Amino acid sequence: MSTDTYLNLVNSGVTKKIATQLGLPRPAPLRRYRAGQPLLAGPVLVLGTGADADAVARLLSGTSLDDTGLERGWDLDVRRTAAPGERHAAIVLVLTEVTHPDQLAEPMLAAASVLKGLAPGARIVTISRPAGAEDGPAQAAARQGIDGVLRSLAKELRGGATANGVVVADGVTVTAPSALGALRFFLSTRSAFVDGQLLHVDSEAGALPADWERPLAGRVAVVTGAARGIGASIAKTLARDGATVVAVDVPAAGEQLAAVANAVRGTALQLDVTAEDAGQKILEHATTRHGRLDIVVHNAGITRDKLLANMTPEKWAPVLAVNVAAPLRINEALLESGDFIDAPRIIGLASTSGIAGNRGQTNYAASKGGVIGMVRATAPLLTAFGGTANAVAPGFIETEMTARIPALTRQVARRLNSLQQGGQPVDVAETVAFLASPQAGGILGQTLRVCGQNMVGQ
């Protein structure tokens, strides 16, 4: 049962009937990831023509992609022509070869013909190329048009269905590890609260995991702010995916921190991330206790909301210090150490407030916009050794932080996205785990929103 009582009411018994008659929003309970669950619970329709569409269809259907045998195919029930009346679990539109907006009609109308019969929690994923200044105008128009279609379609879907896009850079193949990794993430229930987003794949770097259920096996991860909320969920999710986890939080949260560390069979490190030597302390703990450090998740964060007109140094400074200055200093120490070089991953926690702005949160938005800039400029410093830096921008997530928002405001905030509900900490954690994985090695300096396609912002 969700903590969202409205969602529970409109999905059960007599109150469900009343809500339907009144035309009230009916958020669908979202299907979330469980180990051993099939990737899709029904057929997938692959639309689009050309070599890329054929390669994706082959992979999804279970044919080996190459001679290595590593990528065995995903054993899905793949259809290549739209059959209205069929109950599809997913539609994949491979649109990498469009050169004119006229070419969008055929695949989009084919998708349209099966939309009404989609299974609950269905997935629609586009695979396309970025529209650049070097493209001809017609090609750029077609490519940018896909962006518009995708975002609009995501707003039309119901029943917990989502639409997201993988945008593969020119020169990078659609079967690059990160293109396939992103496709699989968007098809899976791991992306339950990610909606209306386009994720760019900029290089062939990265590797497909030997085991999709434990892609982080053998990796050591540090999660800051791990004593509760989203951080605790990130620690659990990374551990579930095979990582050894170091859980970091302030000494005042020591008891809760120990409980999280024990639950994930990891270790606890009591540390204020704003300490001058936090980076050195983190590295020392990870290497002496676990032999290495591969993944850092900068999740520790605070708010001190005030209109800028009433802002004080006491409200401004700590927010910037914890949310962005500490991650900057820690990253610098790790990069200088020479011990963070085996396909390392840095993941920052941004916020939709840092993208769209939020009244009363100038300090917080400065820090979270800061995280977006930080990962964009940090990624190039890591690519030489197969590393990446990316961020996750949560929208409204059900945590102790958001439980303190006044009841009515909270009800409204929950409904202001295409899925008409707040996300769960695990939704943010799943996205962090994906960006930490070997299959995300070609995703460089991006910020992926986990917001149910919040009406605020892009």
Task: Tell me: does residue 249 bind ligand NAD (CB under 6 A).
Answer: yes
**Region near ligand NAD per CB under 6 A, out of 66-74, 83-91, 164-172, 247-255:** 247-255
Rule CB under 6 A: say whether 370 interacts with ligand NAD: no
CB of 49 to ligand NAD, least distance (A): 40
Q: What is the 3-state secondary structure (H, E, C) of 202-216?
A: CCCCCCCCCCCCCCC
Measured CA to CA in angstroms, residue 131 lies from 53, 144, 168, 242, 304 at distances of 19, 6, 11, 37, 39
Q: Binding to ligand NAD by residue 431, rule CB under 6 A? A: no
Query: In a 3-state reduction of DSSP, which class is residue 194?
Result: coil
Residue 160 lies near ligand NAD (rule: CB under 6 A):
no
x/- letters, 61..100, toward ligand NAD (CB under 6 A): ----------------------------------------
Nearest to 106 by CA among 123, 141, 82: 82
Place of tokens 């539109």: 93
Distance CA 106, CA 104 (A): 6
By CB under 6 A, tell whether 167 contacts ligand NAD.
no
Binding-residue pattern over the window 273 to 312 for ligand NAD, x denoting contact by CB under 6 A:
xx------------------------xxxx----------
* Residues between 309 and 338 with contacts to ligand NAD, criterion CB under 6 A: 322
Does residue 458 bind ligand NAD (CB under 6 A)? Answer: no
**Positions marked catalytic:** 364
* Element (DSSP H or E) covering residue 339: none
The full DSSP string for 99-119 is -SGGGGHHHHHHHHHHHTTPP
Class of residue 134 by CB neighbours under 10 A (exposed 0-12, middle 13-18, buried 19+): exposed
| Contact status, residue 375 vs residue 445, Cβ threshold 8 Å | yes
The span of 97-105, 202-210, 221-229, 337-345 binding ligand NAD (CB under 6 A) equals: 221-229
Q: Mapping DSSP to helix (H, G, I), strand (E, B) and coil, where does residue 26 land?
A: coil
Determine, following the binding rule CB under 6 A, whether residue 400 of this chain makes contact with ligand NAD. Answer: yes
250, 259, 341, 455: which one binds ligand NAD (CB under 6 A):
250
CA-CA distance, 101 to 281, in Å (whole number)?
54
Q: Considering the complex, what minimum distance in angstroms separates the CB of residue 432 from ligand NAD?
A: 10
The CB-of-194 to ligand NAD minimum distance in angstroms stands at 14
Choosing from 165, 225, 386, 452, the residue that interacts with ligand NAD (CB under 6 A) is 225
The footprint of ligand NAD on residues 128-157 (CB under 6 A) is: none
- Identify whether the C-beta of residue 297 lies closer than 8 Å to the C-beta of residue 222: yes
Minimum separation from the CB atom of position 124 to ligand NAD (A): 25
Those residues whose C-beta lies under 8 Å from the C-beta of residue 89, and which sit 6 or more positions away, are 40, 41, 42, 43, 44, 118, 119, 122, 123
Q: How far is the CB of 314 from ligand NAD (least distance, A)?
A: 15
Closest residue by Cα to residue 124 from 83, 85, 89: 89
Contacts with ligand NAD by CB under 6 A: the residue count is 27
- Residue numbers of the site for ligand NAD (CB under 6 A)? 224-225, 227-231, 249-250, 253, 272-274, 299-302, 322, 349, 351, 394, 396-397, 399-402
